[in-house]
Amino acid sequence: MTSFREKLESGPQLGLGMFYPAPGIIERIGPDWDWVWIDGQHGEMGYNDVLGCVRACNLVKRFALIRVPGHEGGLIGLALDTFADALMVPMVSTVEQAKHIVQAAKFPPVGSRSWGARRPIDLVGRSYSKPENEPLLICQIENDQGLDNAEAIAAIKGVDALFFGGDDMAISRGISMDDPVPGDYFHESWERMAKAASSQGKFSGGVFPSSEAMTKATNLGYRLVVGGGEMFFLASGSKEASDRLRKCIDSTVTNRGKDQGGSSGVY
């Protein structure tokens, strides 16, 4: 099977964000996407939920990426033991933080990750620690300090990609989450991070839900491109259906009222 790295080398791969502990959603709509971002940081997921979502990705043959809550080595190791295809660590702002994460996420001699994960051994045997079997490690850049250090972070052996965190970048700059961010606000920052990653032969990623943003990002060389989260697709699809069907109900009630001299006789 083609690895996640090989797919990313071939071109942009479209990702789906998963925040609810519902593997059935992945089974149903996962095949529409190339990979799934399983959010263990802000999503409503515990370990077993994350593991279930990874298994669902395996079932529908889509790559699984897990975002962990922080930099703690035990959390990183536990997430990697699910045998996901990639791991994303949030709020990476300095070279020192990135080196600490590499130590936790990579096997010797690059890092000091502990060997012995049950699921990888069950699936592929004891050789799962070989470099070709190791998940991609992605550092999420979410403030200007991280952006300033992006090239140095990308240069670290063991870091495979940088991922732009737009919401925390905005709030760190004093932008309220209640205010819409102008469509072109991050273009310069996207370009800076893409250049930092590519200069070190690493991938870049981010969330680009609009057609304009996706076009801009892929033109800059972004490969890990997220199109949106399942909660958005659930909400927008539900709202569209309920609005459409309520119009049918309202039309029926109005027409019955006219037929019965102004009183529907139903309500």
Q: What pLDDT, on the 0 to 100 scale, is given for residue 181?
A: 84
Quote the pLDDT of residue 257.
66
Residues in the chain, pLDDT under 50? 264-267
Secondary structure of residue 225 in the 3-state scheme: strand
Main-chain phi, psi angles of 240, to 5 degrees: -60, -45
List the domains of the chain with CATH numbers. Answer: 4-230 (3.20.20.60)
Catalytic residue among 42, 71, 100, 187: 42
Distance (Å, whole) CA 16 – CA 90: 18
Task: Please provide the size of the chain in residues.
Answer: 267
Whether residue 71 lies in the annotated active site: no
Angle among Cα 213, 219, 220 to the nearest 5 degrees reads 90
CA–CA gap between residue 154 and residue 92 (Å, rounded): 11
Q: Is the preceding peptide bond at 109 cis, omega within 30 degrees of 0?
A: yes
Q: For residues 70 and 93, what is the distance between their CA atoms, to the nearest angstrom?
A: 12
**What is the rounded CA–CA span in Å between residue 139 and residue 98?**
7
- Amino acid letter for position 119: R
Note whether 199 and 225 are within 8 A (CB). no
Count Cβ atoms below 10 Å from residue 122 Cβ, excluding itself.
Answer: 10
Position 254 scores a pLDDT of: 77
> pTM score, two decimals?
0.91
Q: What span, in angstroms and rounded, lies between the C-alpha atoms of 26 and 20?
A: 10
